[in-house]
Copies of this chain bind each other. A is one copy, B any other.
Amino acid sequence: MSASFSLIADSWGAAARAGVLQTSHGPIETPAFMPVGTNAAVRGLTPAELKSSGAQCVLGNTYHLWLRPGSALIQRAGGLHTFMGWDGPILTDSGGFQVLSLRRHCVVDEAGAMFRSHFDGGEWLLTPEIAMEVQAMLGSDIAMVLDVCPPYPCTAHDLRAATGRTLRWARRSIDARHAPGQAVYGIVQGGTDLDLRAEAAAALGDIPFDGYGIGGLSVGERRERTWPALSAAVGNLPDDRPRYLMGVGAPDDLIEGIGRGVDLFDCVLPTRLGRTGTVFTSRGDLDLRHSRFERCDAPIDPDCDCAACASFSLGYLHHLFRAREELAMRLASLHNVRFLVRLVADARVAICEGSYGSFTADVLHRLGRRSLVEQA
């Protein structure tokens, strides 16, 4: 196994857990939230800022990097870490999610996906083997297998077909792995069909992956259907491997996910919301463009230790957004990344102290949400 994972604590009916994941670029204390650096940069932020926000691992998008600037160019530059100036762990996705989202410009069969680049219209082929090869060239610490993420909603037939193909592609991927030091994670699909999720997880768990992604959730389904599907997957995966809930990052979703045994999360939410002026706080989201902040001298969140909250008022940030100043997006993104990283780090402390139940109740109460945990 390329990356080793040790559990140091669990609590709350043994679901929530804290661990340490070793990678070729250092350890990740789990649970952990990973910001997304689509084009070899987390939108608007430097690696130094990410580090100061407490982010331990960043995500790179294989589809984007493969097409531009190209995996060969990044390999020549010394790999993605050197290229983007981030010396901590990097996880790359397989590119499948983006390619399959191209819909009209993508034809998928058992071999793989033939698609047209959204950059230049050129024709490209993505297969499980190519996804592994490209990620090996990028040199990420954790590579994800190519999977089929079915749309939501979709028919039972299509869901089963996508889940089956995902499993067959997972087997091809593990056979194609060849980068020493790079961990490879399989991906559990199955939509919100609990039997299919459980079945997919059990079958995937028999393949010796270093960890397991749980995909196809938070794609439009109601949260009442998300969490049972997550639990069905988690309950059938090996306990001793990390579980990564893909594309999920709202504050309450992180708390719910950790409560169900998730170790890793990624999401574009903190930077995407930050660019449009929405910031997380312990009492819910704020829209900085709202005129009620015009004369407000307080920071975004008095409990936050990020550089934006340390130096700038809501009134100033409101002004920057109204004036469309680039600095506004940067400060809001930085705050949001720090907020999520800190929330998950606080969750880890609570798990280690055996108090994750009351931590969850407290966080969700402040956010004005009712926990959905009981319904899982």
Q: Does A225 contact B (CB under 8 A)?
A: no
User: Which of A313-343 touch B at CB < 8 Å?
Assistant: 313, 315-316, 319-320, 322-323, 325-327, 329-331
Interface residues of A in 267-316 (CB under 8 A from B): 294-295, 297, 307, 311-313, 315-316
A315–B77 CB distance below 8 A: yes
Q: A77 to chain B: which residues have CB within 8 Å?
A: 295, 297, 313, 315-316
A contact face: mostly helix, strand, loop, or mixed:
helix
Which of B69, B312, B325 is within 8 Å of A43, CB to CB? B325
Q: A295-B76, A327-B46 are in contact. Are A40 and B312 (CB under 8 A)?
A: no
| Bound Cα distance A198, B48 (Å) | 51
A83 touches B326 (CB 8 A): no
Count contacts on A: residues with CB < 8 A to the other chain.
Answer: 37
Please tell me if A41 contacts chain B, counting CB pairs below 8 Å: yes
A314 to chain B, nearest CB (A): 11
Q: Chain B residues with Cβ under 8 A from A297's Cβ?
A: 77
> Quick one: which of A250-278 are within 8 Å of B by CB?
none
Q: Would you call A15 an interface residue if the criterion is a C-beta within 8 Å of the partner chain's C-beta atoms?
A: no
A68: Cβ under 8 A from any B Cβ:
yes
Give residues of chain A (45-72) contacting chain B, Cβ–Cβ below 8 Å: 45-48, 64, 68-69
**Which residues from chain B contact A39 at a C-beta distance below 8 Å?**
319-320, 323, 325
Least CB distance, A204 to chain B, in whole angstroms: 33
Is the pair B85, A312 in contact by a Cβ cutoff of 8 Å?
A: yes
Q: Are B48 and A307 in contact (CB under 8 A)?
A: yes
Return A218 CB to nearest CB of chain B, in Å: 25
Which of B45, B68, B83, B316 meets A83, CB within 8 Å? B316
B327 contacts A295, C-beta separation under 8 Å? no
User: Is the CB of A44 closer than 8 A to any CB of chain B?
Assistant: yes
A188-235 interface (Cβ within 8 A of B): none
**A73 on interface, CB distance cutoff 8 Å:** yes
Besides A69-B322, A330-B330, 4 more A-B contacts (Cβ < 8 Å) are A41-B323, A46-B327, A69-B315, A77-B313
Q: What are 7 of the A-B contact pairs (CB < 8 Å)?
A: A40-B320, A44-B330, A68-B322, A69-B322, A73-B295, A77-B297, A85-B311
Give A contacts to B, CB under 8 Å: 39-41, 43-48, 64, 68-69, 73, 76-77, 83-85, 294-295, 297, 307, 311-313, 315-316, 319-320, 322-323, 325-327, 329-331
